Chain A
Amino acid sequence: MTSLIEIKDYTWRYLYTNQPALNNINLTLEEGLFLGVIGPNGSGKTTLAYSINGLIPGQYHGIKEGTVNVAGKEVEEYDKGALQQQVGVVFSDPEAQFTAMTVEDELVFGMENLGMSLAEIRERLEWVVSLTDLQPLLLKPPYEISGGQKQRVALAAVLAMTPKVMILDEPTSMLDPISRKRVFDVLAKLKKEQNNTIIVIEHSLENLIPLADRMAFMLNGELVLEDETRAFFSQIAMLMEKGIFPPDAMQFFHQLTLNQVYSGALPLTVEEATQSLRANLAQMAGGAK
């Protein structure tokens, strides 16, 4: 694998602000990896996303130090629009990105702007519609569908342009648990079938953790921790102290560890937790006999 994204000694300060929004960030991401980014509001997660797809420094005024390199080129070296074909961003408020009167037009809009042939547009539309289950909604206005459907349309519209890197900024913030799961199901399919590099910014960790190869924790503009997912959560005490609350099952096993009745890895899912708990109690029973 080659590094698709390389960020070196990167600091960004928005104009007229004293504190840098991002401070001395170093991050390397291999192609095909799924990175989960967590951190409190205002910690710099969205600024990082904008820095990777060139909205920063292109559309914002500020002072930049260090380098952000995507697919072998610094973001400033790309022709206008070329970087955005490589890196797609799905915004947390899907309505912010809608422009068309029907879902179908919405999905086609980006591809038309890239100057694709009609045949190719048709082919990709079919692919993206089946991937995100949007067939029944194609003729509806995007503002008349539910929040979960809107977030799937926003995702599909970016996906249709087949960017190498997809960045999703709180893609499920407004959704009920089932709709949330469906968005993550689409992401799981992408990861499995498309080898997309995916970066997801999320507060809700339960759905994110099973998909994430690596996790990053941002705080006050700094990248505090970045590691392979299981190793990342071995720092659970520090994360909790800094206001991150891992899923219940993981917290439960952290308590068992503190009580010195468990010493294994922390489970990432309920299934893992169930197995570990059964094994642990069986061992207790065995040890007592």
Chain B
Amino acid sequence: MSDNQKPYIEVKDLVFRYADGTQALNNINLNIGQGEFIAFIGQNGSGKTTLSKCLNGLFKPSEGDILVDGLNSRTTPIAQMVRRVGYVFQNPDHQLFNSNCWDEIAYGPRNIELAEDEVKARVEEAAKVVGLPEDNFTEHPFFLTKGMRQRVAIASILALRPKVIIVDEPTTGQDSRQSLEIMDFLLSLNQERGHTIIVITHVMPIVARYARRVVAMGSGRILLDGPTDEVFAQTEELAKTYIEPPQITQLAQSVADLGFYPGTLTIDAMVEQYKKIAAKA
């Protein structure tokens, strides 16, 4: 995020406790600017999903405040919040419940009481963005592939035109090619349409390839927050979040004494460094 820009989301001293008293988030401070591509990483149960649900107003802070587009999540109606921050569930089947794709995507816009012609325009736009063919509009979502159901789930969020889209574990159960397709699609939303994308994921090669910033969580706290290469270079701190950097980063770190950069993120970058180091040898 550039310094001269006011953050779109400001999280100040956030604490969140569930009704049974379990403290899920502890002293979270976080600024998120427009147009960022961020990965939330950390062990299962570290607070990633809870934080996301706080960001879109589904959960209200127990202490502290969350400002989105200047609006405090404590006092802003959820209908206003979801127009700004959309959350796509890990399992699209937990979110899809209508009997055809059209109604599924139209559900959000109808729920915030838009006029029906506006609803129609938004559904068509969202379907086009995610690449859902018109033939599928009348189809039951459960007859689509998981990748396609995920796109319907994302379309139903896009129809609310949120600035920020949080996608929880978008590549679970997907093979490598399908994973890259989904991530390339999220990248296009980020680069071509200016959406801020937050991805919650356990897949570090995906983080290395797509995220420009990493927020690493452990036990309800933010342990590391910074550019992807800098976060992955901090091996010891990272180990506390029970996360291992991608394999190429691990390799670079184990030969750092030969001149490789410990924050190397891609195979191509590793090859470039190899060429330079071998030429000097």
Q: Which residues of A come within 8 Å of B, CB atoms? A: 39-41, 92, 146-148, 170, 173-180, 203, 206, 243-245, 247-249, 251-252, 255-256, 259, 261, 270, 273-274, 277-278, 281, 284-285, 288
Contact of A251 among B174, B178, B267, B277 (CB under 8 A): B267
Q: Are B174 and A278 in contact (CB under 8 A)?
A: no
Q: Are A274 and B255 in contact (CB under 8 A)?
A: yes
Closest to A273 in B: B251
Task: Give the total of B residues in contact with A, Cβ under 8 Å.
Answer: 36
When A252-B270, A261-B278, A278-B258 are in contact, do A175 and B251 touch as well, CB less than 8 Å? no
Map CB proximity to A onto B200-229 as digits: 1 under 8 Å, 0 otherwise. Answer: 001011000000000000000000000000
Bound together, the chains give a CA A247 to CA B208 distance in angstroms of 14
Contact of A281 among B202, B268, B277 (CB under 8 A): B277
Chain A residue numbers with a CB within 8 Å of B43 are 176, 178-179
Bound together, the chains give a CA A174 to CA B171 distance in angstroms of 10
B35, CB-defined interface residue at 8 Å: no
Contact of A41 among B178, B250, B275 (CB under 8 A): B178
- Expressed in whole angstroms, the minimum distance between the Cβ of B181 and any Cβ of chain A is 10
- Expressed in whole angstroms, the minimum distance between the Cβ of B47 and any Cβ of chain A is 13
Chain A residue numbers with a CB within 8 Å of B145 are 41
Q: Are A252 and B44 in contact (CB under 8 A)?
A: no
Bound together, the chains give a CA A248 to CA B204 distance in angstroms of 11
Map CB proximity to A onto B246-261 as digits: 1 under 8 Å, 0 otherwise. Answer: 1110110011001000
Q: Are A274 and B251 in contact (CB under 8 A)?
A: yes
When A249-B248, A278-B258, A288-B281 are in contact, do A41 and B271 touch as well, CB less than 8 Å? no
Closest to B255 in A: A277
Bound together, the chains give a CA A117 to CA B273 distance in angstroms of 63
The 20 sampled A-B contact pairs (Cβ below 8 Å) are A40-B177, A40-B178, A41-B178, A146-B45, A147-B44, A175-B202, A176-B243, A177-B204, A178-B43, A179-B43, A179-B44, A252-B267, A252-B270, A255-B271, A256-B274, A259-B275, A261-B278, A270-B254, A277-B251, A281-B258
Q: Are A243 and B45 in contact (CB under 8 A)?
A: no
B103, CB-defined interface residue at 8 Å: no
Bound together, the chains give a CA A249 to CA B267 distance in angstroms of 8
- Expressed in whole angstroms, the minimum distance between the Cβ of A17 and any Cβ of chain B is 15
Bound together, the chains give a CA A39 to CA B178 distance in angstroms of 12
Closest to B46 in A: A176
When A41-B175, A176-B44 are in contact, do A249 and B247 touch as well, CB less than 8 Å? yes
Closest to A206 in B: B247
Contact of B44 among A146, A170, A256 (CB under 8 A): A146
Which 10 A-B pairs give the minimum distances between C-beta atoms?
A248-B248, A248-B247, A285-B281, A243-B177, A178-B242, A40-B175, A274-B254, A245-B176, A284-B281, A176-B202
Bound together, the chains give a CA A284 to CA B244 distance in angstroms of 30
Chain B residue numbers with a CB within 8 Å of A285 are 281
Chain B residue numbers with a CB within 8 Å of A92 are 173
B172, CB-defined interface residue at 8 Å: yes
Chain B residue numbers with a CB within 8 Å of A255 are 267-268, 271
Give chain B interface residues in 117-151, CB to chain A under 8 Å: 145-146
Label chain A's interface by main secondary structure: helix
Q: Are B44 and A175 in contact (CB under 8 A)?
A: yes
Q: Which residues of B come within 8 Å of A, CB atoms? A: 42-45, 145-146, 172-178, 202, 204-205, 242-244, 246-248, 250-251, 254-255, 258, 267-268, 270-271, 274-275, 277-278, 281
Q: Are B278 and A281 in contact (CB under 8 A)?
A: yes
Chain B residue numbers with a CB within 8 Å of A270 are 247, 250-251, 254
- Expressed in whole angstroms, the minimum distance between the Cβ of B243 and any Cβ of chain A is 6
Q: Are B271 and A252 in contact (CB under 8 A)?
A: yes
- Expressed in whole angstroms, the minimum distance between the Cβ of B234 and any Cβ of chain A is 16
Closest to B248 in A: A248
When A247-B247, A252-B267 are in contact, do A177 and B175 touch as well, CB less than 8 Å? no
Q: Are A170 and B204 in contact (CB under 8 A)?
A: no
Q: Are A284 and B242 in contact (CB under 8 A)?
A: no
Closest to A267 in B: B251
Q: Are B278 and A203 in contact (CB under 8 A)?
A: no
Contact of B176 among A177, A203, A249 (CB under 8 A): A203
Q: Are A249 and B251 in contact (CB under 8 A)?
A: yes
Chain A residue numbers with a CB within 8 Å of B242 are 176-178
A146-B44, A248-B251, A270-B251 known, 20 other contacts, Cβ within 8 Å: A40-B176, A41-B175, A41-B178, A147-B44, A170-B173, A176-B243, A177-B202, A178-B43, A178-B243, A179-B43, A180-B202, A243-B176, A248-B205, A248-B267, A255-B271, A259-B271, A261-B274, A274-B254, A281-B258, A281-B278
Bound together, the chains give a CA A280 to CA B269 distance in angstroms of 18
- Expressed in whole angstroms, the minimum distance between the Cβ of A224 and any Cβ of chain B is 14
Bound together, the chains give a CA A175 to CA B90 distance in angstroms of 13
Q: Are B267 and A278 in contact (CB under 8 A)?
A: no
Q: Are A173 and B271 in contact (CB under 8 A)?
A: no
Chain B residue numbers with a CB within 8 Å of A277 are 251, 255, 258, 274
